[in-house]
Amino acid sequence: MHNNKETMPELTLLIDSKLGRNRSADGSTFEYALEPALMVPFDAEPTLRVLEANVFYTSPNVSAAKSNNKLKFSVITSGTVAGGDLSTTNHSITFPDGLYSLADINAELADYLERKSTIADAALSFVGHGPTQTVIADWDAEAATYGVILRFSESDSIGPLLGFAATDLTYEIGEGGKHKYFRSPSPANFDAVSLYLLNCSVLSGQNYDASGSGGGQVSCAITPDVAPGNLIQYRPLIPLPCQAHALKGNRTSSIRFTMTDNNNEPVSLNEAYTARILISW
């Protein structure tokens, strides 16, 4: 066992996900080849530290994979819910995978409405309520002249991102008023990722475990402290040592890295991530 830090053998890894083997389709997972293979004595106490890491904050908050990429609504042209004789025209907007703000969603909605001759350009929009971080759906009854059903109950609805419950919201003709406002009961959640967690296959023991599953393979937690689309630069003042018992007494020819979110789910990455890692034993 090596008790003297000054004499501990060390190995520095410069990892780049775009250069890794067996890279996953979403860019979150890859294998880093160790050539030659790493041999750590059985009586050693190996640790792994992330000295620095770089990841672009471009993970989508709207995508087909997240099942939240559609906005569906029906325009009520006649009839009532109570009477069971509703006549509606259905609309559906599919958002391309991406990292959206409320302004981006409104832009896609406005573009759709402008292309439809049967509905007013300003019939529907979303407004943020700053103090509560909620979202208000504004149905312009005067411009549209019809009622509406916001179909947030659909399984692929964008509603939950905006803070709306998975239930349809209805405004019928004749209820009065020039605008009908639906406020989301919960705050909107536009953050695609609260934390980026760099998982490493050789870690074990009492390491950080975001999911509580007991795996303990997280080497560092990276906070998205930049605006969407920018590079997050993780530079810890004191890199924390993580137990890497899987290296003890083994011949290790590769290490698998996976970038996950705070729920320990793999994240979709449009750009490669990199890191400088120190293994000591």
Q: What is the pLDDT of residues 129-179, one digit of tens each?
A: 999 999 999 999 877 678 899 999 999 999 999 999 999 999 987 555 688
Structure tokens at 270: 């449009």
Report whether pLDDT(117) > 90.
Answer: no
Q: How confident is the model at residue 18 (pLDDT cuts 50, 70, 90)?
A: very high
Q: Is the pTM of this model over 0.85?
A: no
What pLDDT is attached to residue 24? 95
Report CA-CA distances (Å) from 107 to 111, 114, 154: 6, 11, 22
Backbone angles phi, psi at 114, to 5 degrees: -65, -25
The mean per-residue pLDDT over the stretch 90-115 comes to 96
Check residues 276 and 263 and name the one with the higher pLDDT: 276
Report whether pLDDT(4) > 80.
Answer: no
Specify the residue for token string 């209820």. Answer: 175
Structure tokens at 72: 């569906």
Q: How far apart are CA 112 and CA 102, in angstroms?
A: 15
Q: How far apart are CA 27 and CA 271, in angstroms?
A: 8
Specify the residue for token string 């530079």. Answer: 235
By the 8 A CB rule, do 152 and 188 touch?
A: no
Q: How far apart are CA 14 and CA 16, in angstroms?
A: 7
Q: Are strands 87-94 and 147-150 parallel, antiparallel or unpaired?
A: unpaired
What pLDDT is attached to residue 1? 44
Report whether pLDDT(210) > 60.
Answer: no
Q: How far apart are CA 170 and CA 150, in angstroms?
A: 6
By the 8 A CB rule, do 203 and 242 touch?
A: yes
What pLDDT is attached to residue 174? 59
Check residues 76 and 72 and name the one with the higher pLDDT: 72
What pLDDT is attached to residue 242? 93
Specify the residue for token string 């406005």. Answer: 110
Report whether pLDDT(5) > 80.
Answer: no
What pLDDT is attached to residue 206? 62
Q: How far apart are CA 21 and CA 39, in angstroms?
A: 21
- The widest CA-to-CA distance across the chain, in whole angstroms, is 83
Buried b (16+ CB within 10 A) or exposed e, 93-110: bebeebbbebeebbebbe
Report whether pLDDT(278) > 60.
Answer: yes
What pLDDT is attached to residue 264? 82
Q: How far apart are CA 274 and CA 201, in angstroms?
A: 16
Cα angle value 248/249/253 (rounded, 5°): 85
* CA pseudo-torsion sign 183, 129, 195, 108: positive
Read off the pLDDT of residues 259-271 as tens digits, 9 standing for 90 and up.
999 888 899 998 9
Report whether pLDDT(101) > 50.
Answer: yes
Report whether pLDDT(215) > 70.
Answer: no
Paired residues of 99 in beta bridges: none
Structure tokens at 166: 């998975």
Read off the pLDDT of residues 230-258 as tens digits, 9 standing for 90 and up.
999 999 999 999 999 899 999 999 999 99
Q: How far apart are CA 224 and CA 171, in angstroms?
A: 39
Report whether pLDDT(207) > 90.
Answer: no
Supply the DSSP symbol for 265. Answer: P
Q: How far from chain centre, in Å, is Cα 46?
A: 32
Q: How confident is the model at residue 2 (pLDDT cuts 50, 70, 90)?
A: very low
The runs of H, that is alpha helices, within 115-261 are: 141-144
- Reference 46, options 166, 153, 204, 182; nearest CA is 204
Read off the pLDDT of residues 23-71 as tens digits, 9 standing for 90 and up.
999 999 999 999 999 999 999 999 999 999 999 999 999 999 889 999 9
What pLDDT is attached to residue 198? 96
Report whether pLDDT(20) > 70.
Answer: yes
